[in-house]
Amino acid sequence: MDFKLTEEHIMIRDAARDFAKSELLPGVIERDEKQEFPKEQVKKMGELGFLGMMASPEYGGGGMDTVSYVLAMEEISKIDASASVVMSVNNSLVCWGLETFGSAEQKQKYLSKLTTGEALGAFCLSEPEAGSDATSQKTTAIDQGDHYILNGTKNWITNGNSADFYIVIAQTHREKKHKGINAFIVEKDWEGFEVGPKENKLGIRGSDTHSLNFNDVKVPKENRIGEDGFGFKFAMKTLSGGRIGIAAQALGIASGAYELAKNYSKQRKAFGTEICNHQAIAFKLADMHTNIEAARHLVMKAAWDKDNGNNYDLSGAMAKLFASKTAMEVTVEAVQVHGGNGYVKEYHVERLMRDAKITQIYEGTSEIQKIVISRSVLHD
Ligand code: COS
């Protein structure tokens, strides 16, 4: 067993760290306050190859492994989780889904633009009445011969207004239940497609989350992904990898907050000494560090499973469950270590605490991860 990163992994991690510090840190507080999408920064992420890291170079991607991807996700998330969710959705839901299950024409037409940041992608599964219960799709895609007619509403869509291409899950044959669901590529400027209101969120406020309406949108048949009825499996398989990305995001939020708390505790004095010299603070740091290391091992194991062709449904779900819980606990403690300053925006930890919560909710709540984990261990 080798826990060492390769030189290439270290290079990628350091490049992401430098980018986050130089490009994302300036303005991160203001973007959070104003709910401003990091447009320029995302453009640069595309130019530097952070938006299509695992995609094949044939389609403009970086051809990197999942370990590289989670290392970069952690570094970006330490500073700006709003930017890292854009990166995560584009890499692991949209690019990976298209490359793995899309047709040659779909990859040529869409993937090549998505990997470079020329275009941005969104993944549209959730609906007003179908988040966790993903088989209950109300959005319909009616087969009309050479095209489908799409009708319905999607909710809480990351990159909702910033995306150019949307992967949309919809029900084609209701009587076949989940076996009648399909996935489609929809372009933003198609008639009948409308971006709904932007959500005013607790955290990741720089990312733009919208509802979307589809009113008789005509989708050519060649834009269906995979065989008729493959849509639910497509969503599940894609989300399994997406969960590794969100686990890495949670890990980054936790380690970002921990580093801030550790540094602060070495400077702030109380009762005649730096507060890190008080056991009350030192023990908090010990717990934070231990849990972060445990989360890192789970995230790396899930990434390694994916890179080595193993099933990663279980390891990805465990990584997301544990890393998101760690992110919540560590960020709350980081605010506590900062005392009154922790409650103030300038110190960053309150934002990280707000950002952490979503990692227990999106791409499958913690309760959904427990369903996946318990089913897997019980049917082993
Ligand atoms: N990979 C491939 N196929 C999968 C799969 C996976 N990871 N998970 C489930 N499936 C398949 C099953 O094999 C089954 O297919 P068959 O009928 O051909 O055997 C089908 O999907 C339905 O599975 P199941 O009966 O387990 O469905 P459930 O309704 O019980 O739901 C959960 C399963 C809860 C795991 C699923 O609905 C889920 O992940 N929900 C959360 C969705 C989510 O993440 N929402 C957030 C939106 S994205 S921000």
Q: pLDDT for 249-292, tens place per residue?
A: 999 999 999 999 999 999 999 999 999 999 999 999 999 999 99
| Centroid of ligand 1 to alpha carbon of 368 (angstroms) | 10
| Centroid of ligand 1 to alpha carbon of 236 (angstroms) | 5
Q: Tell me what pLDDT residue 1 has.
A: 85
Pocket test for ligand 1, best of 182, 227, 236, 359 (most atoms within 8 A of CB): 236
Q: pLDDT for 188-216, tens place per residue?
A: 999 999 999 999 999 999 999 999 999 99
Q: pLDDT for 211-230, tens place per residue?
A: 999 999 999 999 999 999 99
Q: pLDDT for 309-353, tens place per residue?
A: 999 999 999 999 999 999 999 999 999 999 999 999 999 999 999
Cβ atoms of 193 and 161 closer than 8 Å? no
* Any ligand 1 atom below 6 A from CB of 368: yes
* Any ligand 1 atom below 6 A from CB of 135: yes
**Cα distance between residue 167 and residue 182, in whole Å:** 10
Helix axes 81-88, 349-358, angle to 10 degrees: 30
pLDDT higher than 80, residue 380: no
Ligand 1 atom 40, closest CA? 132
* Any ligand 1 atom below 6 A from CB of 357: no
pLDDT higher than 90, residue 367: yes
**Cα distance between residue 209 and residue 216, in whole Å:** 23
Which one, of 288, 259, 290, 263, lies nearest residue 274 by Cα? Answer: 263
Which whole-number Å values give the CA distances from 244 to 89, 240, 314, in the listed order? 11, 7, 11
pLDDT higher than 80, residue 43: yes
DSSP assignment of 58-72 equals: GGT-----HHHHHHH
* Residue 102 CB coordination number (10 Å): 23
Which whole-number Å values give the CA distances from 48 to 2, 55, 68, 130, in the listed order? 29, 14, 14, 36
Which one, of 358, 364, 369, lies nearest residue 85 by Cα? Answer: 358
Q: Tell me what pLDDT residue 124 has.
A: 98
pLDDT higher than 90, residue 2: no
Q: Tell me what pLDDT residue 378 has.
A: 96
Ligand 1 atom 44, closest CA? 364
Averaged pLDDT score across all residues of the chain: 98
Ligand 1 atom 11, closest CA? 233
Q: What is the mean pLDDT of residues 26-42?
A: 98
Catalytic residue IDs: 363
| Centroid of ligand 1 to alpha carbon of 234 (angstroms) | 10
Ligand 1 atom 9, closest CA? 236
| Centroid of ligand 1 to alpha carbon of 233 (angstroms) | 7
Q: pLDDT for 56-101, tens place per residue?
A: 999 999 999 999 999 999 999 999 999 999 999 999 999 999 999 9
pLDDT higher than 80, residue 36: yes
Pocket test for ligand 1, best of 233, 234, 365, 379 (most atoms within 8 A of CB): 233
* Any ligand 1 atom below 6 A from CB of 363: yes
**Cα distance between residue 126 and residue 155, in whole Å:** 5
* Any ligand 1 atom below 6 A from CB of 364: yes
Q: Tell me what pLDDT residue 345 has.
A: 98
Which whole-number Å values give the CA distances from 197 to 37, 155, 160, 363, in the listed order? 15, 10, 9, 21
* Residue 282 CB coordination number (10 Å): 12
Sign of CA dihedral 308, 313, 314, 315: positive
**Cα distance between residue 101 and residue 97, in whole Å:** 6
* Any ligand 1 atom below 6 A from CB of 136: no
* Any ligand 1 atom below 6 A from CB of 370: no
| Centroid of ligand 1 to alpha carbon of 341 (angstroms) | 43
Q: Tell me what pLDDT residue 121 has.
A: 98
161 pLDDT band, cuts 50/70/90, is very high
Cβ atoms of 303 and 69 closer than 8 Å? yes
Ligand 1 atom 37, closest CA? 134
| Centroid of ligand 1 to alpha carbon of 308 (angstroms) | 23
